[in-house]
Structure 1
Amino acid sequence: MVRVIGTDPGTSSLDLLLFDDGRVRDQRRFEPMELKANPEMLADAILGWTPIDLVAAPSGYGLPLVRGDRIDEDELDQMSLVRPDERGQDRGVIGFRSWVRAFLATGLPTVFLPGGYHLPTIPAHRKVNAVDLGTADKVAVAALALEHDARLVGGYDRSTFAVVEVGSAFTAALVVQGGRLVDASAGTRGPLGLRSGGVWDGEMACWRSPLSKQDLFRGGLDDLGPEGPAAFRESLRKAAAGLRAVTPFERIYLSGAGLDRDDVLGLALEALDCLGRVERLPSLPNAWVKHAAQGSALLADALAGGRHAALAGSLRLAAARGCVWDAVGRR
């Protein structure tokens, strides 16, 4: 019997899910400011669930399946991708580095999951000038969608679809073909989000430089006033249609905390209903934490040799390679 923990280090919360023998046993949600005020509560919650075979820890932009006992400062930098001059400030996902350290301090077996950039199933030419091809939490959402879709079509290798994740800040669209993640339009190179402007115009970036991490969390639907809804809807449709033109798909799954808002859900449906059959991605039985934590638990179970072991093979997690420095260089 395999007992694992999945995580989602989101912008609005840190979600944990305890998965025991392929079933949801417990789950928790922490607000960033709550953890900042009481850092010990995270480790206390994790250790309260022991024994644990494997923890899929908060992975940010991802690593190629690095174990916790091998993590170093360089790899922590890769996952958080915050410039040295901005560390210690409320930038990006608040508290991410301290969350990682809290998981490591428990001494439990820990693994850091890959992002889309690390997966060999996304062709090299799609990685040119890119960092965000789906962060590790978005890969986890794709894993949850794959597990669901494969049951409908009779196997991972028959499963081809898109999943659109509208988070509290960023939006991502990912494509799975034949059970493998093959393409993505995500984050600051993806569709417009609730707090992010999506794809950056290089001239604007140059004019506004020097940029900070916090600049990446501006210019989204909630910042744009009357033009926001049309911009969000059209940006999402263009991104999904572009992906579909390269890799045809018929089914689109919707995920993300942003869809809890009726106005955002309506805009997403309007944007995508002309491109395929659109539906909300179901949760695992008895799960209420975010989909990324659920998918992370599935991947932890798979990597620990549990009921979902074949899922890791379909996504080719063990073949993950590379690092974000390949694209951005070191600072």
Structure 2
Amino acid sequence: MVKAVGIDPGTMSMDIFGFDDETDEIIVDMSIPRDKITENPSIVIDVLRKINEKYKGIDAIVGPCGYGIPLKKASETQDWEIMLATFVSEEDVRRRLKIIGLRELMFLMKQSKDLNIWFTPGVIHLPTVPEFRKINRIDLGTADKVYTVIAAIRDHAEYYNIPYSDVSIIAVEIGFAYTAAIAVDKGKIVDGIGGTISWPGFLGMGFMDSELAYALANAYPYFSKTLLFRGGIADIADVDPKKTSLDEFVKLAKVNDKVREAYDAMIEFILKDIATLLVSVRKPKEILLSGRFTRVKGFIEDLILSIKRFLLDYGLETNVRTIRRRAKIAKEGAEGAAILANGIAGGKYRKLIETMELFKSSGTIFDYIKLDSSIKKKIVELFTGKHK
């Protein structure tokens, strides 16, 4: 009997999900607004302690960890690893961005030795992704994107009653800020397009033209991560994402030409992310979708139809659907994180985690920068204060 809990740190909320793999009981299914956690990260620890007390001990908890850390107990994590997983400039620390709340929560988790909390890898830490696909990349998929892929692999394997090692899929998460896509071949992550290197998402611009990066570095020397949440579909449509709900955005696309153009662009951009990953997994058996946008009925219907038509044009009769989930409140990532926690604790999903080779994760997010060594050294020192 293994009781496991996972936490998914979304842009809008931090979701917590947990289950008992013997009774199949859901022991927690909740969502906390991200702004509240930025103000007071300790509320997450309070929730975890209450769950731990109620169920007389949780066997493993997978905590949120930004860009990821090679799989290890939170209590055994070095401070510089947490700094790296949440790397941000001193100016942005003073701006009190949401990632600072996450960083503080990670330090609290490190100190909470009464809870069996684990930090886990991002895509770039995985040995199953060839090194050449990591060159000059940081965001191949954050740790929470790996959680979503875990949920997708579990769902696909159970849906078709096949071993995890037979799973070949592309998992796409369409979130409030970013879109990310991850390729899985034979049950292992082999490639990834994280939110900041994808085509534009709803808030974020995704990958950036190097010439634009050059222009920004000169015109805006104190480059803030707030810019990474701009230039996306909302800006193209000229809608305020704080005042316009996702449902309203989809409805506006039917009556407003500018919004319609942005809406069509968003769907095309998702197709382009999928197209890129078809190089890494040539014949995926399914495209599995998740994220806040998949809850919007009109959008998900349009997206599934567009993906199917696109794949058929290339002779691929690939099934396209959303990830099935047990949670009523928490997102797919939280459920995937709980599955990972279950595997860490030796539960029924241990084989899934072993197939993905998550226990063999290693390295750091800056390991694959192929620039002059002095530049790389300066980057590492700037964001960690030490290391290598």
Report what 2:191 is aligned to: 183
Is residue 4–residue 54 contact of structure 1 (8 Å, CA) maintained in 2?
yes
The structure with the larger Rg is 2
Matches within 5 A, 1:161-240: 161-209=169-217, 210=221, 211-225=223-237, 226=258, 227-240=261-274
The one-letter code sitting in structure 2 at the alignment partner of 1:306 is G
Matches within 5 A, 1:90-101: 90-91=96-97, 93=99, 95-101=101-107
Q: Give a deviation string over 1:64-89, Cα, whole Å, max 9, x none.
A: 11211222221111111212332142
Is residue 173–residue 240 contact of structure 1 (8 Å, CA) maintained in 2?
yes
Matches within 5 A, 1:236-315: 236-248=270-282, 249-262=284-297, 264-273=299-308, 274-275=310-311, 276-284=318-326, 286-315=327-356
Give the distance between the partners of 1:247 and 1:176, measured in 2 at CA: 7
Instruction: Name structure 1 gaps, 5 residues minimum.
Output: none
Report what 1:20 is aligned to: 20
What is the aligned-residue identity percentage?
Answer: 31
1:156–1:100 distance in 2 versus 1, CA, 3 Å: same
Is residue 38–residue 98 contact of structure 2 (8 Å, CA) maintained in 1?
no
Give the distance between the partners of 2:120 and 2:46, measured in 1 at CA: 23
The one-letter code sitting in structure 2 at the alignment partner of 1:137 is D
1:262–1:72 distance in 2 versus 1, CA, 3 Å: same
Q: Give a deviation string over 1:187-216, Cα, whole Å, max 9, x none.
A: 111122110111210101110123211110
TM superposition shift of 1:177: 0.5
Number of residue-to-residue matches in the alignment: 330
Instruction: Name structure 2 gaps, 5 residues minimum.
Output: 238-257, 312-317, 370-375, 383-388
TM superposition shift of 1:38: 4.6
Q: Give a deviation string over 1:122-149, Cα, whole Å, max 9, x none.
A: 1000000101111111011000110111
1:103–1:264 distance in 2 versus 1, CA, 3 Å: farther
The one-letter code sitting in structure 1 at the alignment partner of 2:275 is A
Give the distance between the partners of 2:163 and 2:356, measured in 1 at CA: 13
Q: Which of 147, 152, 155 in structure 2 is aligned with 1:148?
A: 155
The one-letter code sitting in structure 2 at the alignment partner of 1:316 is E
Give the distance between the partners of 1:305 and 1:171, measured in 2 at CA: 32
Q: Give a deviation string over 1:194-249, Cα, whole Å, max 9, x none.
A: 10111210101110123211110001111102242232122211121121133211
Give the distance between the partners of 2:72 and 2:89, measured in 1 at CA: 22
Matches within 5 A, 1:62-73: 62-73=68-79
Report what 2:138 is aligned to: 131
Give the distance between the partners of 1:98 and 1:144, measured in 2 at CA: 27
Report what 1:53 is aligned to: 59
The one-letter code sitting in structure 2 at the alignment partner of 1:212 is S
CA RMSD of superposed structures (Å): 1.8
Q: Normalising by the residue count of structure 2, what TM-score does the alignment of the two structures yield? A: 0.81
Is residue 192–residue 220 contact of structure 1 (8 Å, CA) maintained in 2?
yes
SS in structure 2 opposite 1:187? coil
1:36–1:190 distance in 2 versus 1, CA, 3 Å: closer
